[in-house]
């Protein structure tokens, strides 16, 4: 949900005179007023889920605003992994104390967030032009192919058919449980290692039997799971959102996902890197998603490369935790791989 309830919106409007409902006004129109304040560092509070935040970040990059507005998050959607990472919490379901929220934004600490270009080049057979054109997407949170994306796609299709008022975190968890349980029986994405080739920083990775592959940019996945910290992660560099690296891990099954959500298992760590290439040679279509937006993908080559850094705002609690963690960590090799 990317709009304020009327009382909240009125209160904010009286305080800032800069509240915009992007359900009715384009983000471009909302952000252009920053151009009238040359040299002033603007701060934007985005009310919505991770998808809405991504929309605003994309618009800021498109407008090439100088300096770019720093973005804080008032999380109203489901999942909200980016909001969790920046210390703004999993989401608001009741009333929001506007004064406290604005005070927190004013005191927030600027941080950088790596953003990645996901390029899809369709494979053309015998020179035949395919109906699905090549495209480029931007990733802030994560990219995945296989079982994780399959569950996300099923949930997306189910939510599309529901009345808008029925969308909630409880319903999302119920749908995730339903489709995850279904896949435990069907294993629709089994033998993924026989359908794709994975290259990390130019080196081909030999994969074990997997049902999913995830590329992770932030230390939160699946609605709050700190997946890279599960199990023994001591031999790996600390995960950061601004280091120009992403993490890659494999999923054995949807049951494996469920185990990690309750801390009973750890991911199959493939490595950390700066560039990834994934070649799909399977003749059918495989589920795929970028930042929670799913689709089915036929034969193609997917390349992930660093695009830019976004200017974000983190709560003071996040900043204190990060600085403490960073001071105690040792520098390690930027790219590692897992042997199995």
For the chain, give the percent of residues with pLDDT over 70.
Answer: 74
User: Is the pLDDT score of 29 beyond 60?
Assistant: yes
User: Based on the domain organization, do 134 and 248 belong to the same domain?
Assistant: yes
Is residue 45 domain-shared with residue 174, that is, in the same domain? no
Residue 170 has pLDDT above 90, yes or no: no
Q: Are the C-beta atoms of 83 and 108 separated by less than 8 Å?
A: no
* Token digits of residue 4: 């304020």
Check pLDDT > 60 for residue 182.
no
Same domain membership, residue 121 and residue 101: no
Mean pLDDT of 62-90: 89
**CATH number of domain containing 92:** 3.40.50
Structural domain contains residue 340:
no
Q: Is residue 315 part of a domain?
A: no
In the predicted structure, residue 45 carries a pLDDT above the cut 60: yes
Residues 94 and 124 in one domain: no
3-state helix vs strand vs coil in the chain, percent to 5: 35, 30, 40
- Does 61 reside within a domain? yes
Confidence class for position 18, pLDDT limits 50, 70, 90: low
pLDDT-based confidence at residue 316 (cuts at 50, 70, 90): confident
The number of beta carbons lying within 10 Å of the beta carbon of residue 108 is 23
> What is the value of pTM for the model shown?
0.81
Number of domains in the chain: 2
Q: Over 50: is that where the pLDDT of 150 sits?
A: yes
Q: Which residues contact 123 (CB under 8 A, 6 or more apart)?
A: 130, 280, 281, 298, 299, 300, 301
Task: Verify that 96 and 138 share a domain, yes or no.
Answer: no
Higher pLDDT, 321 or 209: 209
The pLDDT value recorded for residue 320 is 58
* Whole-Å CA distances, 110 to 101, 159, 281, 314, 320: 16, 35, 42, 6, 12
Residue 235 lies in a domain: yes
DSSP codes, 23-56: TTS-HHHHHGGGGGSTT---EEEEEE-HHHHHHH
Same domain, 55 and 90: yes
pLDDT by residue (tens digit) across 126-141? 555 555 678 899 999 9
Res 184: pLDDT = 46
Q: Pick 33 or 291 by higher pLDDT.
A: 291
């Amino acid at each position: 949900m990317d709009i304020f309830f009327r009382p909240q919106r009125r209160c904010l409007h009286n305080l800032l005179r800069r509240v915009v409902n992007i359900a009715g006004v384009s983000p471009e129109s909302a952000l252009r007023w920053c151009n009238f304040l040359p040299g002033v560092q603007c701060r934007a509070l985005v009310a919505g889920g991770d998808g809405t935040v991504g929309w605003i970040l994309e618009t800021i990059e498109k407008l090439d605003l100088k300096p770019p507005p720093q973005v804080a998050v008032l999380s109203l959607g489901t999942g909200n992994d980016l909001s969790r990472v920046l210390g703004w919490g999993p989401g608001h379901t009741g009333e929001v104390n506007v004064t406290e929220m604005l005070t927190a934004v004013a005191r927030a600490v600027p941080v950088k967030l790596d953003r990645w270009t996901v390029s899809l080049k369709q494979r053309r057979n015998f020179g035949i032009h395919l109906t699905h054109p090549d495209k480029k997407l931007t990733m802030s949170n994560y990219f995945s192919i296989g079982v994780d994306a399959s569950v996300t796609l099923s949930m997306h299709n189910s939510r599309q058919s529901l009345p808008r008022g029925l969308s909630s975190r409880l319903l999302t968890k119920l749908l995730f449980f339903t489709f995850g349980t279904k896949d435990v029986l069907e294993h629709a994405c089994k033998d993924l290692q026989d359908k794709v080739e994975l290259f990390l920083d130019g080196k081909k990775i030999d994969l074990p039997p997997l049902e999913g592959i995830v590329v992770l940019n932030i230390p939160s996945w699946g609605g709050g799971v700190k997946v890279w910290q599960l199990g023994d992660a001591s031999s790996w560099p600390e995960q950061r959102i601004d280091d120009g690296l992403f993490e890659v891990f494999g999923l054995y099954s949807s049951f494996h996902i469920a185990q990690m959500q309750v801390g009973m298992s750890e991911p199959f760590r493939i490595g950390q890197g700066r560039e990834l290439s994934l070649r799909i040679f399977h003749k059918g279509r495989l589920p795929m998603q970028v930042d929670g937006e799913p689709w089915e993908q036929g034969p193609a080559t997917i390349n992930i490369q660093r695009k830019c850094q976004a200017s974000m705002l983190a709560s003071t609690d996040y900043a204190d935790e990060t600085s403490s963690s960073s001071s105690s960590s040792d520098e390690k090799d930027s790219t590692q791989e897992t042997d199995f």
